[in-house]
Structure 1
Amino acid sequence: MDINGGPASAASTLLVVDDDGEILVLVAKFLRGHGFRVHTARNGVEMQEVLGRLPIDLIILDLMLPGTSGLDLCRSLRRVSSVPVVMLTAKGDDIDRIIGLEVGADDYLPKPFNPRELLARVNAVLRRARGDAAPAGRAGRGFSFDGWRLDTLKRELINPSGVVVDLSTGEYDLLVAFLEAPQRVLSRDFLLDAARNRIAEAFDRTIDVQVSRLRRKIGGPLDLIKTVRGAGYMFTSDVARF
């Protein structure tokens, strides 16, 4: 049993990174009260120290930090890990949300925020990361296209050279949505819903940023994700299940 009275096997371990001591205490106390194991850090150095010694299931990361910013920390993290990141910031402009998505955040919540909304977003991102929200009865264990393979049991994308390509939970969900409906035009609203990635008030460029990130991951001589002006996007390759 963990300190909150729940089965240890069911408790996810979170890392909250914020230089505001009051927010750290309040958020950590609230999340522990809902069954999570919570560790805290005030800056990038402390964050890396925690990550170096503990397995973390999700990071709640403030954008404005002393020293290395949350954006730079997220960008560096994405080079070596696909651990989910929920980004917090006092900035609420669309451009800041877009930048957060571009560097690899899985969700975004501007301050001040309702703790229950943070809890809901943390749970949603964890469900996506574990694959709990995958449709029941999906045939097979994955998809193949143009030499690529997506193993949905291991949640691994393998390129034609046999190298595993890291995907954030949002990128993974978006790719699955495309692979389940190849050569069909999918609207932005459909993709937002299918990828279960409604970040704050879903704004027009949210899905565009996610598609851009995914394109970079599966880039090559072929444009596998075609923009259909005024309609949405289409995955152009043939797709097989295995």
Structure 2
Amino acid sequence: MHVLILGGTTEARRLAEILHGTVRTTSSLAGRVAAPKLPPGEVRIGGFGGAEGLARWLREHQVDAVIDATHPFADTMSFHAARAAADAHVPLLALRRPGWAPVDGDDWHMVDTLEEAAGTASALGRRVFLTTGRMGLASFAHIADAWFLLRSVDAPEPPYPPRMEVLLDRGPFTLDGEREVLRRHAIDVLVTKDSGGAATAPKLTAAREAHVPVVVVRRPPAPDKVPVAPTPEEAAAWLTGGAAALPRTG
């Protein structure tokens, strides 16, 4: 069996580790991170050329199944995967970590876009911890009356806010570490995407403890009628015949 795993997420790497030695895997990374953590098995970096290019690649490399383990906000790739898998008649599974949910004490402000996040954040505070990644900073570039702390794996490129400090770091993050970041930089508002998962969740706990409001960007729509597994272990089970028990989108 040849399985194509889309995405450089923690879940994608874990799935490749589970399958290593028993199933041939090719992990496809977008190439947006300069020094990504490489999973075991075969690895390719770069795009496919849209849905048509991906469908052609699936046929040429005799892929038996596709696991879409991309980031929850990589919606373009997810739709390309759904179309390509259908065109190439290859089974597709979405490995999608559950989203976060607020608990007592949280002060969350839900928005649909980064543009809305920028407006909401600037109305809530003046020292913003921006954890949405280096892509999309143009949405915040017009804000001159707030200071931003951007955390990302790689250095950003302009346009970005005129008053900004960059913290280069890669998760998982600890609760004590997140508390220190908020304290040291006097953060009064946090901006994040609803990425889900445990690796970056401690910042939400730290914000709740410090009574810091959080602007949360909702996830974009996902392709309809694609089976979904919340964990790499369940995705591996799907490959061995457990597909019927998995929920579907749409």
TM-score exceeds 0.5: no
With a CA cutoff of 8 Å and minimum separation of 6, indicate the structure with the bigger relative contact order.
2
Greater percentage in helix? 1
Structure of larger gyration radius: 2
**TM-score after normalising by structure 2:** 0.36
**TM-score after normalising by structure 1:** 0.37
